[in-house]
Structure 1
């Protein structure tokens, strides 16, 4: 097993930044909706979550800025998706860790 001193400090900072970005209930819900390679627009996400479109855009911006999400413009729509599919495993892990027994 690799010890913490063997990991590049820049990579640790990036990982911490990504985890901080994810650490919000709305953002966790966004990631959950983007699992499995799904690509959704701001409108689709705000309708799924039942929150304001401006709030959705704000959270998507944070996730994109911190390297959690990517976006691709197609015509009038911008589609958001997980930058790394493996990020959905973090959400799955959190769900398992918060289940009541």
Structure 2
């Protein structure tokens, strides 16, 4: 075996020996409460009113709407883009945003 291979194999061997030497301490069966009982005690377990930041999915959705609004706003400003195409894009954007949209309301984003 070449010396470089020995050096490369040494860390893996040491990690394997360390993992084998560790013994997990067994948990006594009576320490943990049943999960069903814990769920019945706390009815407001999904309350997030104390969070400083909103959900990641909400932030992602807002950023996607901003990017799409900028694109549709560019379509509105470009006179070479046909009106039918702009109206279709505005209708799609309104369906995603949940509000009535036209070229003037895109400034809000």
Asked which structure has the greater CA Rg, the reply is 2
Q: Same fold (TM over 0.5)?
A: no
Q: Which has the higher strand share?
A: 1
TM-score (norm: length of structure 2): 0.33
- TM-score after normalising by structure 1: 0.35
- Which structure is higher in RCO with an 8 Å CA cutoff and minimum separation 6? 1
